[in-house]
Amino acid sequence: MLTIADIRERLSEIRLLGTKVDIVRAGFVQRIGWDGTRIEVDLIVPPVSLHATQVLEADIRRSLGALPEVQDVSVRISGGGRGEGARNPEGVLQGVRQVIAVASAKGGVGKSTVAANLALALSSEGLRVGLLDADVYGPSLPLLFGTRGPVTITVSQRLAPVSKFGLQLMSVGFFVEEEAPVIWRGPVVMSLVRQFLRDVEWRDLDILLVDLPPGTGDAPLSLLQLIPVAGAVIVTTPQQVAIADVERGIAMFQRVQAPVLGIVENMGVYRCPHCGSEEELFGEGGGEALHRKFGIPLIARIPLEAHLREASDTGEPLPVRAPHHPVVQMFRQLSHRVLERLAEVDREVLPTPRIIN
């Protein structure tokens, strides 16, 4: 006679796309019901593409439906994990399942470019993605996406994100003159950020990427204390002066108890377009050294690429201008690694599955 243990064993043969462990070990299975003819399975999964969810449901139905005595299989899949459970009790970031911070403890490492291209890569996986440019002193989102709004007001008297290239976008750059210097003291900055967090009407996002201000001072630290962050991606360049700053950035995330999903080493290699030779203009091995020291994975190495810079400068990101470019594929791989790491982090905090007869 079929038992719950038999069903659980069969489920342990199934993996969610983008993850390395089965759905039982990953902690995604929350409830198994069996009444002698019908199986019910409830799962909570991290943000994944619609395609991945459909494949998972089909795999479960096919696998369990082949068991003896089974006449019907019901599968319910919902989102959850750290992002769902960590929502601010005051209602900050309504309409957002999970928040990923993109940070750099040092300016000029290409953090905003990485954030923009990562957002597009995640969106290409079928996820609903937003990008909040929280770098109030140097907002670059308007330039990267070739838009300055306009920002409109919804019927609920909140700010409507600007839609571009399938993303929901919000930036302080939409509200200040393009050439005007932003000279604000800390309290004014945090008041503006709080308003963004509370008054933007994000529309049913799977992931919101937050492009943090550079450094480890009051602005990024206070922002992290306001946002329920599921994880962080830290951007660096290979040279030692940047690596030293990244160590302080890791300490900042440890202070607010936000897991670091991985390190992106940007501008690591330059390939000559004429002869094909490669040079590591900013040094080498920095990301690997951080991995060895802190155990945080190096999840991408993005080269110094002229086409990426040109696309960013013209407001037409490389995934839009040249979707098959090798660097675009690197960002797609980065998005896969980010989703994998989110699943790993979720697995550490998800509750023990509830088994019923």
What's the 3-state SS for the chain? Answer: CCCHHHHHHHHCCCECCCCCCECCCCCCEEEEEECCCEEEEEEEECCCCHHHHHHHHHHHHHHHHCCCCCCEEEEEEEECCHHHHCCCCCCCCCCEEEEEEEECCCCCCCHHHHHHHHHHHHHHCCCCEEEEECCCCCCCHHHHHCCCCCCEECCCCCEECEEECCEEEEEHHHCCCCCCCCCCCHHHHHHHHHHHHHHECCCCEEEEEEECCCCCCHHHHHHHHHCCEEEEEEEECCCHHHHHHHHHHHHHHHHCCCCEEEEEEEEEEEECCCCCCEECCCCCCHHHHHHHHHCCCEEEEEEECHHHHHHHHHCCCHHHHCCCCHHHHHHHHHHHHHHHHHHHHHHHHCCCCEECC
Query: β-strands 96-103, 229-236: how paired?
Result: parallel
With a CB cutoff of 8 Å and minimum separation 6, the contacts of 157 are none
Asked which of 57-66, 105-114, 209-218 is least confident by mean pLDDT, the reply is 209-218
Q: Which amino acid is at 9?
A: E
Is the pLDDT at 45 greater than 70? The verdict is: yes
The more confident residue out of 295 and 322 is 322
- Please report how the helices 240-255 and 286-294 are oriented relative to each other, as an axis angle in degrees rounded to 10: 30
Of 29-43, 59-73, 147-161, 271-285, minimum mean pLDDT range: 271-285
Q: What is the CA radius of gyration of the chain?
A: 22
| 29 touches 23 (CB < 8 A) | yes
**pLDDT for position 86:** 39
| pLDDT band, very low/low/confident/very high, at 162 (cuts 50, 70, 90) | very high
Please give the Cα distance from 190 to 193 (Å, whole number).
5
* The pLDDT of residue 276 is above 80: no
Task: Considering only residues 292 and 40, tell me which one the structure prediction assigns the higher pLDDT.
Answer: 40
pLDDT at 91 over 60: no
How far CA 183 is from CA of 134, 188, 226, 267, in Å, comes to: 15, 10, 22, 30
* Stronger pLDDT, 190 or 146, i.e. the higher one: 146
pLDDT of 84 reads 41
pLDDT computed for residue 239 by the predictor: 75
d(CA 294, CA 127): 30
More reliable by pLDDT, 105 or 277: 105
Residue-level pLDDT at 66: 93
Mean pLDDT across 319-331: 94
Q: What is the pLDDT of residue 155?
A: 87
Share of the chain above pLDDT 70, in %: 79
- At 42, phi and psi to the nearest 5? -110, 135
More confident residue, 327 or 97: 327
Across the range 166-179, mean pLDDT stands at 80
Q: How confident is the model at residue 179 (pLDDT cuts 50, 70, 90)?
A: low
**Closest to 157 (Cα-Cα) out of 198, 120, 186, 108:** 198
Which are the contacts of 324, defined by CB distance < 8 A and separation ≥ 6?
none
State mean pLDDT over 276-292: 67
Q: Is the pLDDT of residue 129 over 70?
A: yes
Residue 53: the pLDDT is 82
Instruction: Please report the pLDDT score of residue 325 as a whole number.
Output: 94
Is the alpha carbon torsion for 205, 211, 299, 291 positive or negative? negative
**pLDDT tens digits for range 57-71:** 989 999 999 998 999
Tell me: pLDDT of 184 over 70: no
- Give the residue with greater pLDDT, 252 vs 271: 252
Q: Is the pLDDT of residue 242 over 70?
A: no
Q: What is the pLDDT of residues 332-356, one digit of tens each?
A: 999 989 988 887 776 554 333 333 3
